[in-house]
A = this chain, B = another copy of it.
Amino acid sequence: MIESLISNLRTRDALTAPDEDAVRDLFQHENRFRAGEDIVVQGSRPVNSTLLLEGLAARYRLLEDGKRQITVLHIGGDFVDLHAFILKQMDHGVIALTDCHTLAAPHRRLQAVTEENPHLTRMFWLLTLIDGSIHREWITAMGRREIKGHMAHLICEMFYRYRAVDLIEGQTFRFPITQAILADVMGVSTVHVNKTLQILRSDGLLIWKDGRVQIPDLQALETLAEFDPLYLHFQSESR
């Protein structure tokens, strides 16, 4: 639902009624993508930006030898390519990891927002900056965390992001991602992902079954991950 975008924005700053109306007026047609389909093709020049309503999507780059690196995961309430409004050409692809339901925001309308509504412009700018902030955190995890910490950090991030759009049920959330995809997220081999998951499970830090993650002791997982949610910028500020 579009409510998760509104909620993503409201978490970070108050929206006036006209702001909220402008957000709702932004979107035109719906789309559905099957798992495995490209939502946005690398190299293309989108004329819409895509809001993910439901499903799991990923930005990714392919190398010549077929290796794939995922650079960010997107859940409901995320724009998967808001940056394309400014960048014009996609320097990566976006793939639906599960069946996805989306809404398209024509760049023409985004342009109008930037001409008429400075506050909302800054809020959209903010959303793209949070993506960048997540990128930095991933770089840190890939470069300087041991793999257990990296995995724990990723789970913490997804927990907080799902919570922000109210998708935590109990201490669990649906996270239907295969170990092979997880390997492309973390930049390691699938075997290594598998072994790391075994360890986290046997340490009692993680229960992951049937596409659902349960965190028995969030505090312990955060400690292992050295997790600090500051980088997700959930604080409400005047922006």
Question: What separation, in Å, do the CA atoms of A128 and B129 have in the docked complex?
Answer: 7
A135 within 8 A of B: yes
A75 CB, min distance to chain B CBs, angstroms: 18
B144 touches A89 (CB 8 A): no
Which B residues are in CB contact (< 8 Å) with A114?
Answer: 118, 121-122
What per-residue 1/0 map shows which CB atoms of A66-90 lie under 8 Å from chain B? 0111011000000000010011110
Q: What residue of chain B has the Cβ atom nearest to residue A187's Cβ?
A: B143
Partner of A122, one of B43, B71, B86: B86
A187 touches B88 (CB 8 A): no
Contact of A140 with B69 at beta-carbon distance under 8 Å, contacts A91-B133, A118-B115, A129-B87 already known: yes
Q: Which of A10-58 contact B (CB under 8 A)?
A: 43
A59 within 8 A of B: yes
Q: Which of A125-170 contact B (CB under 8 A)?
A: 125-126, 128-133, 135-140, 142-145
Q: How large is the interface on A (under 10, 10 to 19, 20 to 34, 35 or more residues)?
A: 35 or more
A63 CB, min distance to chain B CBs, angstroms: 6
Which B residues are in CB contact (< 8 Å) with A188?
Answer: 143
B136 touches A59 (CB 8 A): yes
A175 CB, min distance to chain B CBs, angstroms: 20
Interface 9-mer from A96-104, A198-206, A230-238:
A230-238
A140 touches B237 (CB 8 A): no
A92 within 8 A of B: yes
A22 CB, min distance to chain B CBs, angstroms: 14
A95 within 8 A of B: no
B230 touches A144 (CB 8 A): no
Known interface pairs A71-B140, A91-B137, A128-B129; 12 further A-B residue pairs with C-beta atoms within 8 A, sorted by A's residue number: A71-B135, A71-B139, A86-B129, A88-B239, A89-B230, A91-B136, A132-B132, A135-B139, A139-B139, A142-B187, A143-B184, A144-B187
List the 10 shortest-distance A-B pairs measured between CB atoms, nearest first.
A143-B187, A135-B135, A132-B132, A91-B231, A71-B136, A69-B140, A69-B144, A67-B144, A69-B143, A61-B140
